């Protein structure tokens, strides 16, 4: 069965992205004195910078205001970029592929995490599911077009399981959480912090993660092409602040646990688990990372999840991350 997921990405999801934008963003299209930064529920350095006002401070120095837009997953972020409602964000690897296939005008400007432990397939503690093969005939939740979506289909390919042998249900995290907890679905392909929330709070079990199969699911800093064309210096400012927050997160682990527990209203044990499973940095997109992206893009095309073959190397622009490295 063909998985026509991204071909209708913009048409079907545009209203969702626009509805998720703050009302203050209305009418700002094309203005160079405002940058809109997208943020998800992950415990990203973006939250550290947001809560401390670091982006606001840095952009104020060049006469620019900052507006924040929250999203549940990556695909709606690309809809926001396509609509001119979002300028910078951080996103997982599969949404980047979907955005490129849908001709969204953007560039990856840095790798921000390697993601070996950031995605996992979870099962309940008493599910009886012990192997990937045990998923056959079961219901599994996943957010359409997310990093966990690409992770799921890569796992199935590795174990020679046809997706039609499972009942794959497209659910965003707020929908998948109760479905997984009450047993409506048997498994959940999901990313952090939801992996740690479920394993710590509810004793869910990780059936497989990227480290188990040597699969990286990197995250990327992404910029709208228009903002790069009009104000390339904004990208440098964005990466400088992100790198500062990533370094703080790495070097101040106890303080980071306290910060995220308070800011995101999570138990310290959950936060500690997330921090153990994720690492953040700012790096140019290397050939190794691009090779991984190309492999997933080819798989999604073979499955019919994207409508055309793409060259993933065309989606990145390393000049900003390279400039940052030179300044260090």
CA distances from 247 to 50, 51, 264, 276, 306 (A): 15, 16, 20, 15, 36
3-class state of residue 183 by DSSP: coil
Strand order in the sheet with 34-39: 65-70, 34-39, 88-92, 219-224, 106-113
Domain 9-114+218-327 CATH assignment equals 3.90.79.10 = no
- Does residue 102 contact residue 312 with C-beta atoms inside 8 Å? no
Task: Give the residue extent of every domain in the chain.
Answer: 9-114+218-327, 119-213
Q: Tokens in use for 292? A: 């991984």
Are 9-114+218-327 and 119-213 the same fold in CATH? yes
Cβ neighbours of 8 (radius 10 Å):
11
The model's pTM is 0.85
Token output for 187: 């498994």
Dist. CA 238–CA 149, nearest whole Å? 28
Per-residue pLDDT for the chain (328 aa), expressed as one digit of tens each?
Answer: 444 444 444 333 433 333 334 333 344 444 459 999 999 888 999 999 999 999 999 999 999 999 999 998 888 899 999 999 999 999 999 999 999 999 999 999 999 999 999 999 999 999 999 999 999 999 999 998 888 999 999 999 999 999 999 999 999 999 999 999 999 999 999 999 999 999 999 999 999 999 999 999 999 999 999 999 999 999 999 999 999 999 999 999 999 999 999 998 999 999 999 999 999 999 999 999 999 999 999 999 998 889 999 999 999 999 999 999 887 6
Report the pLDDT value the prediction gives residue 32, as an integer from 0 to 100: 54
The 3-state DSSP class for residue 109 equals: strand
Residue 128 DSSP code: -
Instruction: Report CA torsion sign: 91, 94, 97, 101.
Output: negative
Residues making up the chain, counted from first to last: 328
Q: Provide the Cα torsion 154, 156, 162, 164; round to 10°.
A: -90
Span 119-213: which CATH code? 3.40.190.10
Q: Distance of alpha carbon 138 from its chain centroid, rounded?
A: 26
């Amino acid at each position: 069965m063909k998985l026509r997921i991204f071909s209708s990405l913009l048409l079907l999801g545009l209203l969702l992205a626009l509805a998720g934008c703050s009302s203050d963003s209305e009418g700002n299209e094309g203005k160079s004195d405002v940058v809109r930064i997208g943020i998800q529920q992950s415990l990203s350095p973006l939250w550290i910078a947001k809560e401390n006002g670091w982006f606001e401070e840095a952009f104020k120095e060049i006469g620019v205001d900052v507006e924040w837009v929250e999203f549940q997953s990556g695909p709606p972020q690309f809809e926001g970029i396509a609509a001119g409602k979002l300028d910078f964000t951080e996103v997982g690897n599969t949404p980047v592929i979907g955005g490129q296939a849908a001709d969204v005008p953007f560039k990856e400007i840095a790798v921000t995490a390697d993601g070996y432990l950031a995605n996992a397939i979870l099962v309940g503690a008493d599910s009886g599911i012990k192997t990937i093969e045990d998923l056959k005939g079961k219901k599994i939740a996943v957010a359409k077009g997310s990093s966990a979506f690409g992770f799921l289909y890569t796992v199935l390919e590795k174990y020679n399981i046809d997706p039609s042998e499972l009942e794959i249900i497209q659910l965003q995290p707020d929908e998948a959480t109760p479905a997984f907890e009450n047993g409506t679905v048997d498994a959940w392909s999901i990313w952090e912090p939801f992996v740690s929330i479920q394993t710590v709070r509810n004793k869910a079990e990780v059936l497989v993660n990227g480290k188990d199969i040597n699969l990286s699911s990197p995250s990327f800093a992404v910029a709208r092409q228009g903002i790069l064309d009009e104000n390339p210096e904004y990208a440098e400012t964005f990466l400088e602040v992100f790198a500062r927050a990533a370094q703080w997160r790495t070097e101040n682990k106890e303080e980071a646990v306290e910060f995220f527990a308070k800011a995101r209203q999570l138990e310290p044990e959950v936060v500690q688990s997330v921090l153990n499973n994720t690492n953040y940095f700012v790096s140019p997109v290397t050939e190794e990372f691009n090779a991984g992206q190309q492999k997933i893009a080819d798989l999604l095309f073979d499955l019919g999840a994207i409508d055309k073959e793409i060259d993933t190397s065309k989606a990145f622009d390393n000049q900003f991350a390279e400039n940052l490295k030179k300044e260090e």
